[in-house]
Structure 1
Amino acid sequence: MGSLFALAITGSCLERPRPRPHIRRMNRDKLIDAKTRWAAEGRLLVPQPAERRRLPPGQTLVTDWPVLDLGTQPNLRPRDWRLSAGGLVARPIDWGWDELQHLGETESVSDIHCVTQWSRYDNRWGGIRAAALVRRLEPLPTARFVRIRSFDGYGTTVPLADFTAEGAMLATHWEGAPLTRAHGGPVRLVIPRLYFWKSAKWLRHLWFTDRDAPGYWEARGYHPRGDPWRQERYR
């Protein structure tokens, strides 16, 4: 998802709908079921007092990495994967795996905050810094947003400032191992300072633009930006 979410449609050609209250009820019910199950399995944590400032409001710590999607997980091998990027950039690309690696691999540690109210600390990512890719693309001064597409059709839009922020990556590894198919491998986005539905799995296409546009979840009532510290879950 995505996020940790999958299977979506681009929002660029959709009218912005009104928020749908039933989406909130569905997510609340899903969350209650999940938390009940996790509590029985001992998977929920209580943060120490010194760590409470690290946990965004409304979030609960978990020890593992839940998989939340809508049922479609593209089966991509690195040699078959490609990334295109265009729009308001001076140097558009259509790259394969090897070309992406030429930007230089690096590691970063960051926390995950899911809109369904779980968080996981200290995830160690390997991959390419999003800022390094953006420098190669040379966005025009009018570029303010990045529309993101995945191989399953999922779409979301992220402010360019968040896309290039500290810790934002095109991730290929997690905890020292290649990303699994379920978690978005071979390449997914990681944008730590936004809710994780903005960190699209199975990355395929980036389009730099001067305006925001709703993606799959935004068109269904989710917040356009998704800052966990402001609890920007829904509009």
Structure 2
Amino acid sequence: MQSNERREREREMRDAGRLPPGQSLTLKWPVLHVGSVPLFAPTTWDFRVFGLVEEQLRLSWEELCKLPQSEVLADLHSVSRWSRFDNRWGGILATELMKRVTLRPEARHVMIHGENNYTANLPISDFLLPTTVFALRHDGEPLTAEHGYPLRLVVPNLYGYKSVKWVRGIQFLDRESPGLWEFNGFHIYGDPFKEQRSSS
């Protein structure tokens, strides 16, 4: 796409209310993460749901892949000021996963746990939106390792640091608790349309 076409597309997205303030359209998909890309061993990999639940859930890679899958078309907004539009994410909806879990009444927040000790927090209300998906695929192809293979949580309504790569589990809490980037000064919620980039 030529620069004039790109500017026109950016203006179109802004006029449609899809480009948050302070963001620029990208056609590429920049790679940003903490630590090195972890190795994936399907026979030992597992996914856990724990914390304020009536019974903890553990799924092997084979069990996870057998869960019903859906597609979500959604934009991705990075706190580093780029936006990528109309991503097709294929995988397991958060609402589908939660059909297998009974929350305790005091559960209010979710801590997402990824490889490399990465964590990110979410209110349960955002976690349970119909667009929140545990993605296995992007635009019809399996996720690449640098973009989160084998499993990435995608939370389209918040900045990308909430969309945890290499996710390994979710923990339900009764209070808000900062994850890795939130603890280091990023906004505790991270709404792109309110430019909630930092906690200050």
Per the normalisation by structure 1, the TM-score is: 0.78
TM-superposed deviation, 1:45:
3.2
Cα–Cα, structure 1 residues 141 and 177, in superposed 2: closer, same or farther, change >3 Å? same
Structure 2 residue 51 is the aligned partner of structure 1 residue 51: no
Q: Is 1:100 aligned to 2:61, yes or no?
A: no
User: In the alignment, residue 81 of structure 2 is paired with which amino acid?
Assistant: Q
What is the CA deviation profile of residues 162-196 of structure 1, one whole-angstrom value per residue up to 9, with x for unaligned ones? Answer: 11112110101111111111001100100000000
Letter in 2 for 1:62: T
Tell me by how many angstroms 1:153 deviates.
1.1
What percent identity do the matched residue pairs reach? 42
1:153 corresponds to: 117
Please say if residues 45 and 60 of structure 1, whose CA atoms lie closer than 8 Å, have aligned partners that are also in contact: no
**Matches of 1:77 and 1:105 in 2, distance apart?**
22
Structure 2: how far apart are the matches of 1:59 and 1:45? 13
Q: Once the two structures are superposed, what CA deviation does each residue of 1:205-233 show, in whole Å capped at 9, x if it has no partner?
A: 21101111111111111110101111111
| SS of 1:217 mapped into structure 2 | helix
| AA aligned opposite 2:13 | E
| Match in the other structure for 1:205 | 169
Any conservation in 2 of the 1:130–1:169 contact (CA below 8 Å)? Answer: yes
Amino acid at match of 1:51: M
Distance apart, 1:50 and its partner CA: 3.8
- Counterpart-to-counterpart distance in 2, 1:54 and 1:132: 27
Say whether residues 1:122 and 2:86 are aligned partners.
Answer: yes
**1:77, 1:181 → 2: CA distance?**
13
Q: Distance in 1 between matches of 2:107 and 2:134?
A: 19
Q: Aligned equivalents of 2:101 and 2:77: distance in 1?
A: 29
Measure, in 2, the Cα distance between the counterparts of 1:105 and 1:77: 22
Partner SS state of residue 204, structure 1 = strand
SS class of match (1:57): coil
Deviation of 1:64 (Å): 1.1
Tell me how far apart the structure 2 counterparts of residues 79 and 232 of structure 1 sit (CA, whole Å): 40
For structure 2, the 5+ residue unaligned runs are none
Where does the alignment leave 5 or more consecutive residues of structure 1 unmatched?
1-40
* Equivalent pair of 1:77/1:186 in contact (CA under 8 Å): no
The offset of 1:140, in angstroms, is 1.9
Runs of 4+ in 1 over 3 A off after TM superposition: 47-50, 77-80
Deviation at 1:48, TM superposition (A): 5.0
Q: 1:163 aligns with which of 117, 127, 143?
A: 127
TM alignment of 1:1-235, pairs within 5 A:
45-46=6-7, 47-52=9-14, 53-235=17-199
Separation of aligned partners in 2, 1:78 and 1:45:
40
| CA-CA distance at 1:127 after TM superposition | 0.5
Does structure 1 retain, via aligned residues, the 8 Å contact 2:113–2:120?
yes
Preserved contact between residue 108 and residue 125 of structure 1 (Cα < 8 Å): yes
8 Å Cα contact 1:221-1:234 kept in structure 2: yes
TM-score (norm 2): 0.91
CA distance in 1, matches of 2:133, 2:109: 16
RMSD: 1.7
* C-alpha contact 1:144 1:211 (8 A) present in aligned 2: yes
Residue 84 of structure 1 contacts residue 94 of structure 1 at CA under 8 Å; is this kept in 2? Answer: yes
